[in-house]
Structure 1
Amino acid sequence: MKIYVAGHRGMVGGAILRQLEARPDANDLTLVTQTHAELDLTDQAQVRDFMHSESPDVVVLAAAKVGGIQANNTYPAEFIYENLMIEANVIHQAHSAGVDRLLQLGSSCIYPRNADQPMREEALLTGTLEPTNEPYAIAKIAGIKLCESYNRQYGRDYRSVMPTNLYGPGDNFHPENSHVLPALIRRFHEAREAGLDEVTIWGTGTPRREFLHVDDMAAASLFVMDLDRETYEANTEPMLSHINVGCGEDISIFELAQMVARVTGFEGRIETDPAKPDGTPRKLMDVSRLRDMGWQASIDLEDGVRETYRWFLEHTSELRA
């Protein structure tokens, strides 16, 4: 079987690739990857030529432009354009090349800002999105609807998994464009190194977030990909074909900051900055559908943060400024 992993240099794509390489049937798999320099997924002609020349049996779409609140606020045009182009090109050209099976990764930001908690798959398109990442969320919703449309019209088996906030080795630790957990790891590490007695975090610290280790996400993705079609479709609906992936537990941003302080050894004060945006008040995924199908997360959050911090320390010299 030939599997193309789009976005293999990203945190999630890299974890999926590692787990595919470690499978017992790895010798029976042909794993195909392309760097951005080799294949620009926003270029329709390049993606068309690649899909037709490689003819993969399965496509895993883990490529995306991602970032935290500040990045989403600063670059909304890039976030909606690049993600729409990647999804449209990869999904359509996979279909055009006769690829019957595809798994695309989305995001929990697809759900309305004030969706009932925990957020069920049925909450999609039932309310207004969080303004700080609306362009990215709209692109991710489009990806779900692309998969649903090719399934409905052409009988394809294109599936979507919607992860909660992810973290782990290979994360982006950029001080401005990263997500909250890696940003906190870097900030508290640098504060400890500099001997500071105070760290200020964005917002009030009251929003609650769910975090899933990237290795758990990779395992869940391959679990969903491997499900036989009858089982998958029995747990989804033609127009509600995505599946939530999370751990089912959340933590406040202030509590998370306290955890990161413990892990990094920072012993000073933690202050909040209410002038900065909080984003969605709470984002907790209802993962009962995936749990009922036979999968659940296994990596404890603090253990995962410690592992991620160790990775950060080992790769500090390689990280972007």
Structure 2
Amino acid sequence: MIDHTKISKAEWLSLGRSFYSHLFTELNKLSEAEWRSSTRYLGWDCKDLVNHMTSAITINFNLLVKMALEEKPVPEPGFNLFLRNAEEVDRRRRKTTEETIFEFKTEITRLLDRLEELSEEQWKMPAFFFIGDVDICTLFLVQFADNVVHERDLLFANNRWNSFDPKFTAPLMDWFMRMFRPASFRPERTNGESALVQYSITGTAGGNWFQSIKDNACVVSQGTVQNPEITITTTVEDLISTALARPAPFIGKLSRALEWMVKKEKKEDFAAKFTGIIAAMSAIMFGKIKIEGNKHKANAIAKKWFWHFWERTEQTQENILKSRYRK
């Protein structure tokens, strides 16, 4: 395992540039037919997904970095990261594949160049994301991790996926477990209960982490702990598929076929919930995630104590209202 806190700004950005250089190479290998393959992400095909990766920069990340640098990091209530992005994906469908690749390359390079110019103090300036109060470094890590997973989505859809590269995934897994996971904790739902959970994650960039929930706080640390109440065993691949709602592609397409049942502003949340619940149920049913120990408490943790992927819009609004940096 790698301690993500020991990685400097320069090292993170160097890793980012190395990853995107690799990703551009992979994108150029896809045929026109492969660009239309259905991915495991929210019912989108490969072209939609790369447009999503681009619009995440232009609509959300650029704005959130700008707000952070202006020392007004928190958006107004009603700000919806995911609906804004989906509307841009829809607009970009008119672009050709070549235009899609070019725009993504241009925007990600521009963003990395901008981040390179920041001082160490600016890199740690307060910022906001749907998980709550963060800093500019965390905004970068959120997007970096998201796109590492999106590479898997793109290549998996075309039978080109082998495995994660530990050079990129190992530090991001540590960040995901120790920072991103606790950021989704909902202490008001625990009724003051405590829990000690051991995660044993196998595969590329796997490792051991333990989660301590006590006194309305959640802390995740590297390593193992004696006598955990709950032990969760899974692979990196299955953890990501479950936590980030990656069921079989037809499930995403089905969610899109049924989204007429909800209002326009709820469609992205509906697709996320539909795919998220199926991904979680499938993982448990087929033994991809094994849970041992106190099943009652494990069930409470899974269902109530943390925000789910499909609750991102509600989570955003709650965190806007309770942000320390809201003016």
Q: TM-score, normalised by structure 2?
A: 0.29
TM-score (norm: length of structure 1): 0.30
Q: Could you say which structure has the greater relative contact order, defined with CA pairs below 8 angstroms and 6 or more residues apart?
A: 2
Q: Give the number of the structure whose residues are more often helix, by fraction.
A: 2
